[in-house]
């Protein structure tokens, strides 16, 4: 495992992220980075007002997976954090080409492309995404545990990350 120095974190480029999972070394650094650095929190705050429609799609997918979301503000915030974790990691890992998700631009593409089936499509791909993104889920779990989130908040964080993974490569 690489030495983690809080003053200098250097990620190895992963141009195929998030189609491919984050590698083990980058995951170790990301776990540290996202639990200890204020930049990640500030980045997440940018999207808090632009994701309610995608959160609703994510909640419907979770219901299809027999996870009963409570639709609380804490779950919405966890969803947003999961979503922005992937977007921010794509930047840190120099993943190209990807759609930079800022200020709601292209946020509706996933829903509009899938129509009323967006939640079903997301639910159908949920297990495969989780199995192929174990290191990413470990990063999300580390952050969730550090924030003492509930299982439903973690589920919201994970589905937010999956939505972002799919949105980043829509074009």
Report the distance separating Cα 18 and Cα 87, nearest Å. Answer: 9
- Using one digit for the tens of pLDDT, what is the confidence trace for 148-162? 999 999 999 999 999
Ranking 2-16, 52-66, 81-95, 124-138 by mean pLDDT, the lowest is 2-16
The C-alpha angle 74, 143, 136, rounded to 5 degrees, equals 110
135 CA to centre of own chain: 12
The C-alpha angle 66, 72, 76, rounded to 5 degrees, equals 85
Contact 24, 15 (CB under 8 A): no
Q: Give the global pTM.
A: 0.82
> Where does the pLDDT of residue 164 fall: very low under 50, low under 70, confident under 90, or very high at 90 and above?
confident
Contact 154, 140 (CB under 8 A): yes
Q: What are phi and psi of 74, to 5 degrees?
A: -65, -40
Q: Which helix (H) or strand (E) holds 158?
A: helix 151-167
Q: What pLDDT score does 160 carry?
A: 92
Residue whose C-alpha is closest to residue 36's, from 77, 7, 76, 79: 7
Report the distance separating Cα 34 and Cα 77, nearest Å. Answer: 15
Report the distance separating Cα 16 and Cα 140, nearest Å. Answer: 19
Residue whose C-alpha is closest to residue 138's, from 64, 61, 32: 32
**Interacting residues of 38 by C-beta distance below 8 A, sequence separation 6+:** none
């Amino acid at each position: 495992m690489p030495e983690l120095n809080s003053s200098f974190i250097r990620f190895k480029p992963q141009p195929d992220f998030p189609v491919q999972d984050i590698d083990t070394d980058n995951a170790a650094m990301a776990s540290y980075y996202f639990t200890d650095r204020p930049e990640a929190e500030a980045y997440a705050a940018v999207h808090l007002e632009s994701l309610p429609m995608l959160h609703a799609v994510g909640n419907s997918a979770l219901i299809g997976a027999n996870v009963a979301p409570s639709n609380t503000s804490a779950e919405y915030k966890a969803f947003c954090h999961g979503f922005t974790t992937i977007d921010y990691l794509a930047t840190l890992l120099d993943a190209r080409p990807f759609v930079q998700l800022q200020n709601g631009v292209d946020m509706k593409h996933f829903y509009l492309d899938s129509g009323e089936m967006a939640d079903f499509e997301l639910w159908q791909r949920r297990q495969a995404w989780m199995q192929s993104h174990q290191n990413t889920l470990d990063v999300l779990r580390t952050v969730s545990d550090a924030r003492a989130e509930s299982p439903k908040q973690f589920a919201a964080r994970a589905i937010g990350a999956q939505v972002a993974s799919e949105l980043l490569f829509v074009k």
